[in-house]
């Protein structure tokens, strides 16, 4: 039998990777994409504000904890020196000796530096000989205010 007389086999069918009828279901339709984007937008709209309120609340709590730390340092200063820093000396007396104060054994704050409040502001110190106040001016950095901008006094 020669190549001319050999019977011709029917052509083999080549299997396609994806049948034609499935080709239309391989991707997402525009409607499905819009629904997914709308759901994500709703979630961000509902969860975002709650997360921001939680963040602001934690800043207030952090500042209150820092005020408590400064008050503890003031108590130790008073035990060592027998007095509290004068208003003119301020909170800097917890970091460096304000002028040959007998019994000063500082610095009284960790790392020898004054912490900043949660908004990056400095703490104010008021002492009238009777009442001690350590004050953070809040989110706006201005005296007074309401909500997150309210002063935190300890």
- Pull the structure tokens for residue 44: 């961000």
C-alpha 94/C-alpha 146 separation (Å) is 30
Query: Which residues have a Cβ under 8 Å from the Cβ of 98 and sit 6 or more positions away?
Result: 85, 89, 92, 104
**Domain-located, residue 147:** yes
pLDDT tens for 24-67 read: 567 788 898 999 999 999 888 888 887 777 777 788 888 999 99
**Domain-located, residue 140:** yes
**Domain-located, residue 97:** no
CA quadruple 136, 137, 138, 139: dihedral positive or negative?
negative
Banded model confidence at residue 74, pLDDT cuts 50, 70, 90: very high
Domain span holding position 118? 32-67+85-92+112-153
**Domain-located, residue 58:** yes
**Domain-located, residue 137:** yes
* Residue 60 · residue 152 · CB < 8 Å: yes
- Look at 12-26, 39-53, 92-106 and tell me which has the smallest mean pLDDT: 12-26
**Domain-located, residue 120:** yes
Model-wide pTM > 0.75:
no
**Domain-located, residue 10:** no
Number of domains in the chain: 1
**Domain-located, residue 45:** yes
């Amino acid at each position: 039998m020669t190549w001319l007389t050999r019977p011709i086999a029917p052509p083999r069918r080549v299997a396609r990777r994806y049948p034609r009828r499935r080709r239309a279901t391989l991707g997402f339709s525009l409607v499905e994409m819009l629904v997914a984007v709308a759901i994500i937008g709703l979630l961000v709209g509902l969860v975002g504000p709650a997360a921001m309120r939680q963040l602001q609340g934690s800043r207030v709590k952090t500042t209150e904890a820092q005020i408590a730390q400064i008050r503890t340092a003031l108590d130790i200063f008073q035990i060592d020196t027998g007095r509290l820093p004068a208003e003119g000396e301020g909170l800097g007396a917890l970091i460096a000796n304000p002028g040959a104060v007998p019994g000063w054994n500082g610095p009284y704050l960790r790392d020898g530096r004054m912490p900043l409040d949660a908004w990056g502001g400095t703490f104010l110190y008021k002492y009238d000989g009777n009442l001690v106040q350590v004050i953070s001016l809040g989110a706006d950095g201005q005296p007074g205010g309401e909500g997150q901008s309210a002063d935190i006094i300890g």
